Structures are given as structure tokens and as C-alpha cells.
């Protein structure tokens, strides 16, 4: 078969696979909630900027009709440890559901030990430890988004006790971003954090949609206060 023919064949197959995840929710209504949830998650995983809102709406409709959180917690537990992307997706959805019942499981994740150092001398962040770290980072996002007194305490514990500096820093960022009054939150954190984490508190966030002038101003202020050869 020519390369072009093979290309066309797989393009059609790929489109068909993506099309499956784009079926409207009504077509799944006879499926069990678990099956519907799986389809909705696959839809989000393969969504781009054009169809994201539509795919999220599918999940939102499902969440209105069913108690989705226990299903998501079970899904996270059942996902193989090495399926890092699927675990992050599950944690992301759990976080977006903003349900305090998830906190125990999130604390359990953040209290679990990371795998040993990857011994990857190039540090390309492709080993088990680096990948597991990204799961813990996602867990800090889910905790922070709860925006409750209890979740803030969990983040403070994570900043103090987590074995990874990267995760501790992510907890600082999640705490700050989810705080209503950021100047108060910053003062609070600067009082209790060790020197190594203090610079993270006021780091500006680079993101699509940011106010570029505000970003530049915040970055200039940060550099004035914290910039040095090494900290």
C-alpha cells in the first residue's frame, strides 16, 4: 500500500476514534454513569480549544444527574500507577468538582512517599519520581481550589512537610492564587515559611490572558527584592 493510502486510512481511523468521544451526552444516556464518565473524560483528554467548553458541559451535565465525586475517587484509585496522565486528569476533575469529601484522599496522596531518585544524570524529568511529582503537584491544585480553612491548612502542611521542594513550591503557589486577599496571604506565608520558599510567595504567574503590564510590574518588584546569583 502506498504511503499516501496508509496516511489516508489512519487519518480516517483517527478521526473516527476522536468522533466517538464527541458523541453528545444524550447518546450515552442508556450507559451506566461509569461508562458515561469514562466517555466524558476521554472527550476532555482529546479536546482542543475549539471543543473544550462543549466537552466540559457533558461532564457538568453528568455531575448534575449523578454524584460524580465517588466515581472519580474510585476511578483514580483504579488507575494504574504508571498512567500518570490519567491520574492527573482524574485529580484535575476531582479538584474542579470542589467537594470537601475529596480532601482525605488528596491528603493521602500528598503524604505518600515519592519513588527514589531517578538517577537520571541528565535530569530530563522522565523518570518515575519526576512523573509522580507532577501527580502531587496536581493534588496541591485540587486542594487549593477547595478554598476552605481546612484546605489551606493542608497546603500549609504540604509547604512544611513534603519531601519535594518542587511540590512545596507548588503548594505556595496554589495557596496564593486561591487566596481572596493576596497581600494578607503573602504576609501570612512570609511569617512562617523557611527562607528557601519565601521567594516563591510573590512570583508572578505567566499565563494566557494575563495583564502583561501587571506581570512586568510584579516581575520587576520580585527581582528587586529576590533576584540574586543563587538563593
Least separation in angstroms between CB 67 and other proteins: 12
Q: How far is the CB of 63 from other proteins (least distance, A)?
A: 6
Between vectors from CA 191 to CA 102 and to CA 199, what angle results, nearest 5°? 80
CB-CB neighbours of 187 under 10 Å: 11
Nearer to other proteins, 1 or 30 (CB): 1
Q: How many whole angstroms separate alpha carbon 143 and alpha carbon 23?
A: 32
Look up residue 90 and give its three cell numbers: 482524574
CB nearer other proteins, residue 28 or residue 185: 185
Distance (Å, rounded) from C-alpha 25 to C-alpha 43? Answer: 11
CA separation for the pair 201, 156 (Å, rounded): 12
Do 91 and 76 meet the contact criterion of CB atoms below 8 Å apart?
yes
The smaller minimum CB distance to other proteins, of residues 11 and 190, is found at: 11
Please say which residue, 126 or 150, places its beta carbon nearer to other proteins: 126
Q: Least CB distance from residue 5 to other proteins, whole Å?
A: 10
In the complex, minimum distance from the CB of residue 118 to other proteins, in angstroms, rounded to a whole number: 8
Amino acid at each position: 500500500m502506498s504511503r499516501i493510502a496508509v496516511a489516508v486510512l489512519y487519518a480516517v481511523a483517527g478521526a473516527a476514534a476522536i468522533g466517538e468521544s464527541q458523541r453528545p451526552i444524550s447518546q450515552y444516556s442508556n450507559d451506566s454513569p461509569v461508562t458515561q464518565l469514562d466517555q466524558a473524560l476521554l472527550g476532555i483528554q482529546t479536546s482542543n480549544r475549539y471543543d473544550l467548553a462543549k466537552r466540559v458541559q457533558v461532564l457538568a451535565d453528568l455531575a448534575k444527574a449523578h454524584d460524580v465525586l465517588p466515581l472519580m475517587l474510585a476511578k483514580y484509585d483504579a488507575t494504574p500507577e504508571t498512567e500518570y496522565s490519567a491520574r492527573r486528569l482524574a485529580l484535575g476533575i476531582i479538584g474542579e468538582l470542589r467537594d470537601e469529601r475529596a480532601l482525605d484522599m488528596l491528603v493521602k496522596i500528598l503524604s505518600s512517599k515519592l519513588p527514589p531518585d531517578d538517577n537520571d544524570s541528565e535530569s530530563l524529568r522522565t523518570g518515575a519520581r519526576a512523573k509522580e511529582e507532577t501527580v502531587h503537584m496536581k493534588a496541591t491544585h485540587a486542594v487549593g481550589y477547595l478554598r476552605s480553612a481546612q484546605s489551606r491548612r493542608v497546603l500549609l502542611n504540604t509547604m512544611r512537610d513534603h519531601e519535594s521542594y518542587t511540590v512545596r513550591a507548588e503548594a505556595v503557589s496554589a495557596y496564593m492564587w486561591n487566596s481572596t486577599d493576596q497581600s494578607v496571604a503573602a504576609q501570612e506565608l512570609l511569617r512562617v515559611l523557611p527562607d528557601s520558599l519565601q521567594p516563591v510567595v510573590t512570583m508572578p504567574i505567566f499565563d494566557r490572558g494575563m495583564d502583561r503590564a501587571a506581570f512586568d510590574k510584579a516581575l520587576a518588584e520580585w527581582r528587586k527584592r529576590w533576584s540574586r546569583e543563587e538563593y
